[in-house]
Structure 1
């Protein structure tokens, strides 16, 4: 794959931006035990052989279109920065700092590792430019990294990377004149509409970015899962309901009643393999209905989610977005300068099926990733479940939500969930 090129997909190009502004996904995890530095470095080299895009930098062509350029892993090593561990809270401070440290995408690589090294426990923090991967990709990278660090002799299959939208979309759909015309029409219409929308002249001052992290013990999560099943709603829907109710209680007149939820496109596009590295997602917005009780409200939301999920068409969406490249600057401008109509983005990675016990260490804790970027409202909640324990990371900026309000939202959300079990 050396010197192969791939044009950035629309979503990847939006996340890449100018290539200098940070838009970083931060994936922290805690291990108990010792790993040899040479094992970690060797694992990263093998990881680059497994996933060719981890050897990429970004190059713009004559039309200013960015391309991933895949190079030799030996010439583009993933850096490892070792920091002495002084407390269990170090990883939080370091994660927040990593949000603001940009990658030089013109030289690459688009990945780095921070090793917060202690005698018994250590945290390792994967930092990846968001244009390179989504949550599913990040978990695939983490799974392989742990396995290769533990066992340098482990065999691994080399990923067949996505090199074009045609690697995702079946040929019969891609060649459909009707679908191509529809995608081009929607893309052109989007460009016109975005150009016409009046926008603010000044960006919202983000001020301090911050993170609130907490875990939910099995004593709450197990009964919650059982109650959701009995009530006929998913845990994800119950969490969205509680999150919106918490925003409503705390934000009052600043409440928008809208949470955007990314959906893993792998569920709808079988051509995408589990280990494919890319950044593309589907999205829908959920809101509270008019039902008064918590689970009545959640069931109403569940019905809306089921309808929206049934109508999602991954292939049509990709074709439409790829036809919208001329609108990208207007779309980015709208996200930056448009009035925020969302309360929050809520991303649920679900159950993480990564082994717990390895030969020389155990994966003690997997923290939910955090991500922050320059495209408008930064308020995001990410949750995941590892070894039966739910984990939450709430990311925001003081310019959008004061820290005290975010703490109140977290407390209110957990009080609502506790009341249900």
Structure 2
């Protein structure tokens, strides 16, 4: 594989030279495995998802290329968890997220096996250039399928066929193994060859706005994760349906109330899956097919459900092709800038302070629970894409439960925000 970075990818690459742009997904698994099996599974899954083994070649002044040439398999670090150290995986996430990837040598993904004998945690970390939340979920599923199958070499599960718009290797279904899944970058799946003035205006509205007061950093990235079990999750979803709001809107309302920014509305960053507006859809292809926008939510404008209805209206207005496509297409305007200048602009923008109070990303993962003798007990996400201290909250729904986490350099302040938000969410009648 060898292709030019798209304008959107080029901006993320340039940003990553100056700022953290890493994401992670963690699978907590009941059952046994070995480091050798995990390394074999990673090598096999790389053949299906080539972006697991890429680097940026020919990084010139204005352009770079993604290539698989000369890139080793992603590394698998092994950590042995003591019987009483149930939070070892949390410390691993805190260690791995700040570690930058060397984009010139690759790969842009790495793995950590936290082995506890009768169970294990698999921490997967990616440069945001090559993966989003959906990609991370697909890779976890494929890895666990390999680890749990006969001799750990079973085929990709049913329903994981090559998606529309993705490219398959000729003859890949002849028993030699699963076909590679590749799709063009998001930019190439958006109609229209040029960025328009309207794209710039919509992007400024989606991402702009006042800078909030800086969070007081404590100098260390902190990660905290928790779970809403089935009973709590079912009750919460039932209340959302009865009030006519989405879970995302309820989450934004709860965090807006918890942020309590005084007389001004809370600014909530919301992640959007672009697969819904790209044509053709990249399906299960690995890559960066996500964007984000900021909505203002008046956390004190009524009871929680009134605030949630306000948030639902604001979010739905942005989740349309007309509003989402410009968030990627606008980066075509940066093609004339050297990539170092792009990175400097991004760094300068962040140095002014965060443009949101909290980021809330919510995704539902259609992951099987059973993989032969293995059972997926939990899955948590994580992200480190800012040094501003603004809390990044990730919510993943799976098997009737919600798995939540927050990453921030604001330390106890971020954890306190999450506790208040959960109180608002779970105690609202």
In the alignment, what sits opposite 2:362? Answer: 348
Matches of 1:375 and 1:9, distance apart in 2: 23
Cα contact 2:185–2:288 (8 A) shared by 1: no
Matches of 1:413 and 1:338, distance apart in 2: 26
In the alignment, what sits opposite 1:318? Answer: 328
In the alignment, what sits opposite 2:182? Answer: 161
Deviations 1:350-369 (A, max 9, x none): x21111112121112212x1
Cα contact 1:346–1:382 (8 A) shared by 2: yes
Number of equivalenced pairs: 394
Q: TM-score, normalised by structure 1?
A: 0.84
Query: Which protein has the bigger helix share?
Result: 1
Matches of 1:112 and 1:118, distance apart in 2: 20
- After TM superposition, the structure 1 stretch with the greater mean CA deviation from structure 2, 31-40 or 386-395, is 31-40
Residue 390 (structure 1) aligned with residue 398 (structure 2): no
Offset, 1:268: 1.4
In the alignment, what sits opposite 1:274? Answer: 283
Matches of 2:294 and 2:386, distance apart in 1: 21
CA 1:104/1:416 → structure 2, altered by over 3 Å: closer, same or farther? same
Cα contact 1:335–1:375 (8 A) shared by 2: no
Cα contact 2:184–2:282 (8 A) shared by 1: no
Q: TM-score, normalised by structure 2?
A: 0.82
Matches of 1:208 and 1:90, distance apart in 2: 17
Matches of 1:85 and 1:189, distance apart in 2: 48
Unaligned runs of 5+ in 2: 157-177
In the alignment, what sits opposite 2:77? Answer: 81
Cα contact 1:6–1:163 (8 A) shared by 2: no
Unaligned runs of 5+ in 1: none
Q: Secondary structure at 1:174's aligned position in 2?
A: coil
Q: CA RMSD in A?
A: 3.1
Matches of 2:181 and 2:66, distance apart in 1: 15
Cα contact 1:6–1:164 (8 A) shared by 2: no
Which of 49, 67, 79 does residue 69 from structure 1 map onto?
67
Q: Secondary structure at 2:145's aligned position in 1?
A: helix
Matches of 1:164 and 1:225, distance apart in 2: 34
Which of 266, 290, 294 does residue 257 from structure 1 map onto?
266
Offset, 1:143: 1.2
Offset, 1:17: 3.1
In the alignment, what sits opposite 2:257? Answer: 245
CA 1:270/1:258 → structure 2, altered by over 3 Å: closer, same or farther? same
CA 1:291/1:187 → structure 2, altered by over 3 Å: closer, same or farther? closer
Residue 360 (structure 1) aligned with residue 373 (structure 2): yes
Matches of 2:246 and 2:328, distance apart in 1: 27
CA 1:163/1:265 → structure 2, altered by over 3 Å: closer, same or farther? closer
Offset, 1:382: 0.5
Residue 379 (structure 1) aligned with residue 418 (structure 2): no
Cα contact 2:406–2:415 (8 A) shared by 1: no
Matches of 1:318 and 1:20, distance apart in 2: 20
Matches of 1:305 and 1:96, distance apart in 2: 31
User: How do 1:107-146 residues align onto structure 2 when only pairs under 5 Å count?
Assistant: 107-146=105-144
CA 1:334/1:97 → structure 2, altered by over 3 Å: closer, same or farther? same
